[in-house]
């Protein structure tokens, strides 16, 4: 698996003729959305972050770029950052990346630098074709484009990001890292829906899974936290952000995940319903008279915590539930109940579980969610150290009771570092 790539060879790039080659160890990570670009520049020599930033509301009058330099003027990591904001219209992704390049250049880390080894792109859908990080050429780009019907909201923006970055630095490898790739190891009987096989094949209907870079990073970090080789560890990863997914990872290999053809399946999320009887869709169409697009929007954007109680931010849900708000309490209870079901199901799938790991915005920060999800699961070997669980920390940590058979861990996810690691390993192998 890509997750195991640990190549540490350095790339050397010739500079101008006659001058000494430069060690290229920087990777620019781009996460291009339809109206935003998130970026990070990392130095893979020591895995340090040099700069992070975000361009949002691309194409509007009120575009905004926030850029933060994370190294001192002398290049020393942690030597005091510098945050800058730029307001005003940014017409398209080309202009957005141009503005990012200017900000990086102002910090002495321009994209024209020979130190840039690769650009790593988050690509949401790799279909069944892309199961590894891949250097993008014309053919690969065409194939990513051909997957747009499977991810109509995400893949077009990812393609645009790659095209623009390619124009900016045609000589530097552009590496696509796919959100679906880590899940490609799921057995066929897990990936298939129990529907007519010919229809499924005709329309590429199967379970792909998402958040793969996070599940890969966090499952590996969990093994490190336990002090064991990744091959020896079975872990249930609960990625609980605004989108949320669970995965069952056996010895570093994903065997099951909760998201499916799209990110709609599985857990209760901020605005998505997760699992529901597919007949709800027919009922809404036949009885409610809703169009397919209206149902799509209802289930993806107006369901989950938001649909149930009017708030998708777990902090608000917790605050309201604490004040006795019934809708918020029910939404919280549904969220936690679904989590418990997946922990139970994935315990059965794995047979032996070494750890359950919480990650992403809710998983890392909401001790109440962790406490409620694990409560009553002693028969599965799960018990918390409530004091340890209540402590906020940016570090990976164990929060299980000492006597518990299964470790419960909190591991901050780092998708950008994972993308940079995979991209760098590919160009230096
Ligand atoms: P992510 O998608 O990983 O950025 O996670 C975003 C979600 O994390 C938001 O919807 C918040 O509900 C949740 N979140 C962030 N901080 C906290 C916190 N301190 N307590 C509970 N939830 C939080």
Write out the DSSP string of 88-100.
Answer: S---SHHHHHHHH
**pLDDT higher than 90, residue 78:** no
Where is average pLDDT lowest: 16-25, 41-50, 253-262? 16-25
- Of 307, 247, 249, 254, nearest to 276 by C-alpha is 307
Task: Give residue 34's pLDDT.
Answer: 86
* Tens-place pLDDT, residues 204-246: 999 999 999 999 999 999 999 999 999 999 999 999 999 999 9
Contact (CB, 8 A) for 340 and 245: no
Give me ligand 1 centre to Cα 39, in Å: 20
Separation CA 62–CA 88 (nearest Å): 5
Contact (CB, 8 A) for 246 and 218: no
Task: Give residue 161's pLDDT.
Answer: 93
235 is known to lie in a ligand binding site: no
| Joined tokens for residue 361 | 């915005």
Give me ligand 1 centre to Cα 361, in Å: 4
240 is known to lie in a ligand binding site: yes
Any atom of ligand 1 within 6 Å of the Cβ of 111: no
Q: How far is CA 372 from CA 311, 338, 375, 395, in A?
A: 19, 11, 5, 22
Give Cα 339 distance to the centre of its chain.
Answer: 18
Write out the DSSP string of 230-260.
Answer: GGG-EEEEEEESSSEEEEEEETTEEEEES--
Q: What is the mean pLDDT of the chain?
A: 93
| Joined tokens for residue 231 | 């091959």
Mind listing the domains of the chain with CATH numbers? 12-178 (3.30.420.40), 227-415 (3.30.420.40)
**pLDDT higher than 90, residue 23:** no
**pLDDT higher than 90, residue 306:** yes
Give me ligand 1 centre to Cα 335, in Å: 14
Q: Which of 217, 237, 241, 308 to mutate to test the pocket of ligand 1 (most atoms within 8 A of CB)?
A: 241
Task: Give residue 424's pLDDT.
Answer: 97
In the chain, % of residues over pLDDT 70: 93
**pLDDT higher than 50, residue 17:** no
Task: Give residue 429's pLDDT.
Answer: 85
Task: Give residue 178's pLDDT.
Answer: 97
* Tens-place pLDDT, residues 235-245: 999 999 999 99
363 is known to lie in a ligand binding site: yes
Any atom of ligand 1 within 6 Å of the Cβ of 365: yes
Give the mean model confidence (pLDDT) for residues 159-175: 94
**pLDDT higher than 70, residue 18:** no
In the chain, % of residues over pLDDT 90: 89
Any atom of ligand 1 within 6 Å of the Cβ of 305: no
Give the mean model confidence (pLDDT) for residues 50-61: 95
**pLDDT higher than 90, residue 45:** yes
Catalytic residues: 179
Any atom of ligand 1 within 6 Å of the Cβ of 218: no
Separation CA 317–CA 324 (nearest Å): 11
């Amino acid at each position: 698996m890509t997750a195991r790539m640990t190549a540490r060879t350095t790339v050397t790039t010739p500079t101008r003729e006659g001058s000494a080659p430069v060690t290229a160890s920087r990777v620019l990570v781009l996460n291009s959305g339809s109206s935003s670009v998130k970026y990070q520049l990392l130095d893979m020599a020591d895995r340090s972050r040099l700069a992070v930033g975000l361009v949002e509301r691309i194409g509007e009058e009120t575009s905004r770029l926030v850029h933060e330099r994370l190294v001192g003027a002398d290049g020393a990591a942690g030597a005091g950052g510098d945050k800058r904001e730029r307001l005003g219209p940014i017409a398209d992704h080309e202009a957005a990346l141009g503005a990012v390049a200017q900000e990086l250049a102002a910090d002495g880390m321009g994209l024209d630098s020979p130190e840039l080894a690769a650009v790593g792109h988050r690509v949401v859908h790799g279909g069944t074709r892309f199961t590894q990080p891949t250097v993008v050429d014309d053919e690969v780009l065409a194939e990513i484009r051909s997957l747009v019907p499977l991810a109509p909201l995400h893949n077009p923006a990812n393609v645009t990001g790659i095209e623009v970055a390619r124009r900016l630095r045609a000589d530097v490898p552009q590496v696509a890292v796919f959100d679906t790739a880590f899940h490609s190891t799921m057995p066929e009987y897990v990936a298939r829906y129990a529907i007519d096989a010919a229809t499924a094949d005709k329309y590429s209907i199967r379970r792909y899974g998402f958040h793969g870079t996070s599940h890969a990073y966090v499952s590996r970090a969990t093994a490190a936290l336990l002090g064991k080789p990744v091959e020896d560890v079975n872990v249930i990863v609960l990625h609980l952000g605004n989108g949320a997914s669970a995965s069952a990872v056996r010895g570093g290999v994903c065997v099951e995940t909760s998201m499916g053809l799209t990110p709609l399946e599985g857990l209760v999320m901020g605005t998505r319903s997760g699992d529901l009887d597919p007949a709800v869709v027919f009922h809404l169409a036949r009885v409610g008279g809703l169009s397919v697009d209206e149902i799509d929007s209802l289930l993806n954007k107006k369901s989950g915590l938001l649909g149930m109680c009017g708030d998708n931010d777990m902090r608000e849900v917790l605050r309201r539930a604490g004040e006795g708000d019934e809708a918020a309490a029910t939404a919280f209870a549904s969220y936690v109940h679904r989590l418990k079901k997946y922990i139970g199901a994935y315990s059965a799938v794995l047979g032996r579980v070494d750890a359950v790991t919480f990650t992403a915005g809710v998983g890392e920060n909401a001790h109440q969610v962790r406490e409620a999800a694990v409560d009553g699961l002693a028969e599965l070997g799960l018990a918390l150290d409530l004091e340890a669980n209540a402590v906020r920390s940016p570090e990976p940590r164990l929060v299980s009771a000492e006597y518990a058979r299964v470790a419960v861990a909190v591991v901050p996810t780092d998708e950008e570092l994972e993308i940079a690691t995979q991209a760098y390993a590919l160009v230096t192998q």
